[in-house]
Amino acid sequence: MDKESTLSASNFIRSIIETDVSSKKMERVITTRFPPEPNGHLHIGHAKSICLNFTTATDFGGTCNLRFDDTNPEKESSEYQDSITEDVRWLGFDWGKSTLHASDYFQQLYDFALYLIKHGKAYVDSMSADEIRMYRGTLTEIGKASPYRDRSVSENLDLFQRMATGEFEDGTHVLRAKIDMASPNINMRDPTLYRIRNASHHRTGDRWKIYPMYDYTHCVSDALEGVTHSLCTLEFEDHRPLYDWVLEQLPIAHHPRQIEFARLELNYTITSKRKLSTLVNQGDVEGWDDPRMPTIKGMRRRGYTAAALRDFCERIGVTKKQTTIDVSLLENCVRTDLDRCAPRAMSVLRPLKVIIENYPKSATDLLDAANHPKDDSFGIRKLAFTRELYIERDDFMEIPSKKFFRLAPGREVRLRYAYLITCERLEYDPKTGELITVYCTYDPKSRGGKSPDGRKIKGTIHWVSAEHAKRAQVHLYDRLFNIPNPSSSDDFRNHLNADSVEVINNALIEPGLGDAIPGAHYQFERLGYFCADENRHSAGSPVYNRTVTLRDTWLKKEVIQK
């Protein structure tokens, strides 16, 4: 990571760490961690946590661990782990030579559990899950003790060790911490530390028949790794007393500090794994990497850049107050980065043929076109100008409105990088009545789009040569939902945006775009930012995805709705 990509703005977490460092309260090297579960794909909310943890550590000269919380073997896989690793690296972060896992500490976690039992701080409970839930109480009613809470140390040790060897069925017993069933914090009412899972683990195989719970694993793993500041989202604030309690009971010298921050919430977006899974399973999207999905893989395939996501995470800041961010801010970050790094090209999505009647039939004129009007280092490319061209159908109007300055009968416009042309006559399909060809003349003295006598030309349109252009499939993506807060509704699928994707099968592109590598970014002039689809694009069959429009088209929609 370069210095420009690190967090520049101050936030309350940085202030806490600065105080800890200056007061010598934390004399270790600052260490954070990102602990994803390998049971799914990362989304934009994870990106915020990734950026926060890695950049905070970097800014203080420390390190950030990538540690997989692999404690639920029934839902986890190496495939998800590899996917997460790839996403974090793509975002631009590095965690050194080794990737860590909660499963690295299974033996130590088990030994610490034995320690808690021996010191009367944990017991084996044989109630069912429903009974445990009922005994736990509510926010207004205190819990009551399990009938198994006062088992002897020897009995608890015996049962726990037999749980570990696979003697019992799933759900028969659990290991619970012995804290306080009358605590106002429900998380402190004898929480479960271990449960039986007779399932094979993708790393440890069949070695273990019991698996630790997150609240127990998380704090112990942090301590063993020397994490100084454990940064969590706000839903873990009520779990912090348990985090501290576990570490206070165990013979571990280091005690990390847990700090909570507000998670990322975006309007027009869902980040619930359960709901995203529903979209995939119901066929509402192509898969987890569908360009409309808020997953990192989906956004990458759509054409979002890692730099844009990092910039977005920096701009939204870090607070304790839960707020919803307007997705237009994310889209603007994408526009800003692509404006800087995407070369320009021309594509016609809905072609309308233009014939330049006074241009020689067999002639081809090679014109200079800037690859980036703001950066000369991108160089120039040659555009082939021929007698037959295609323009965007929307750039012609037979009876133009007052503010329409593009091509119309008798009107002159500028072809980008080429010549001034004037519409002379029209040809229609005799069967359908559809306009099929616009016949024009050109001004030979206007090469490069310059007006030879200083006459003012209001309209400039893009084009491609009919002879040289290549056909392409283009996917025009938009927001997946049509209401700002789809997460608030159980019937969220009813609010899917019916226009979230439009597939154009016969778009025409500059010939060079057909040879682009998958993932390459371009600005299709006047149309938006596009990228060659990582999955479907090939030289023989080009496929492009619209990443984002040139302007925020939703702003106008929302104003009209109001």
Structure tokens at 292: 């409309």
DSSP summary character for residue 262: P
CB 202 within 8 A of CB 102: no
Q: Are residues 71 and 207 in the same domain?
A: yes
CB 192 within 8 A of CB 146: no
As a whole number, the mean pLDDT across the chain is 94
Q: Are residues 393 and 369 in the same domain?
A: yes
466 domain residue, yes or no: no
- Per the structure, how many domains does the chain have? 3
Q: Are residues 410 and 442 in the same domain?
A: yes
Domain stops at, among 428, 461, 494:
461
Q: Are residues 124 and 247 in the same domain?
A: yes
Q: What is the pLDDT of residues 3-61, one digit of tens each?
A: 333 444 578 999 999 999 988 777 789 999 999 999 999 999 999 999 999 999 999 99
Q: What is the pLDDT of residues 211-233, one digit of tens each?
A: 999 999 999 999 999 999 999 99
Q: What is the pLDDT of residues 374-413, one digit of tens each?
A: 999 999 999 999 999 999 999 999 999 999 999 999 999 9
Instruction: Give the mean pLDDT of 482-492.
Output: 89
pLDDT at 73: 95
287 domain residue, yes or no: yes
Report DSSP letters for 326-362, one per residue. -HHHHHHHHHHHHHHHPPEE-EESSEEEEEETTS-TT
Q: Are residues 191 and 255 in the same domain?
A: yes
**Res. 278 pLDDT band, cuts 50 70 90:** very high
Q: Are residues 177 and 285 in the same domain?
A: no
Domain stops at, among 402, 436, 461:
461
- pLDDT at residue 553 is higher than 90: no
DSSP summary character for residue 435: E
Q: Are residues 299 and 352 in the same domain?
A: no
Q: Which helix (H) or strand (E) holds 247?
A: helix 240-249
Q: Are residues 288 and 304 in the same domain?
A: yes
HSE (side-chain half, CA atoms, 13 Å) at 96: 14
486-494: long-range pairs with CB below 8 Å, 24+: 486/268, 486/269, 486/270, 487/270, 487/271, 487/272, 487/275, 492/270, 492/275, 493/278, 493/279, 493/282, 493/284
Tokens 């989304």 label which residue? Answer: 43
How far are the Cα atoms of 232, 304, 309, 341 from residue 375, in angstroms, in the given order?
41, 21, 23, 9
CATH assignment at residue 553: 2.40.240.10
| Rounded Cα distance, 238 and 234, in Å | 8
- Looking at the chain, the number of H-run helices and the number of E-run strands are 13, 27
Domain stops at, among 411, 427, 461:
461
Which range marks the domain in which residue 516 is found? 273-343+472-561
Q: Are residues 12 and 58 in the same domain?
A: yes
**Res. 96 pLDDT band, cuts 50 70 90:** confident
Residues in the chain: 562
3-state secondary structure (DSSP) of residue 537: coil
Q: Are residues 373 and 335 in the same domain?
A: no
Q: Are residues 534 and 443 in the same domain?
A: no
**Res. 555 pLDDT band, cuts 50 70 90:** low
467 domain residue, yes or no: no
Q: Are residues 518 and 429 in the same domain?
A: no
CATH assignment at residue 22: 3.40.50.620
Active-site positions? 37, 263, 273
127-133: long-range pairs with CB below 8 Å, 24+: 128/171, 129/171, 132/174, 132/176, 132/192
**Res. 560 pLDDT band, cuts 50 70 90:** very low
268 domain residue, yes or no: no
Structure tokens at 342: 């995407």
pLDDT at 420: 98
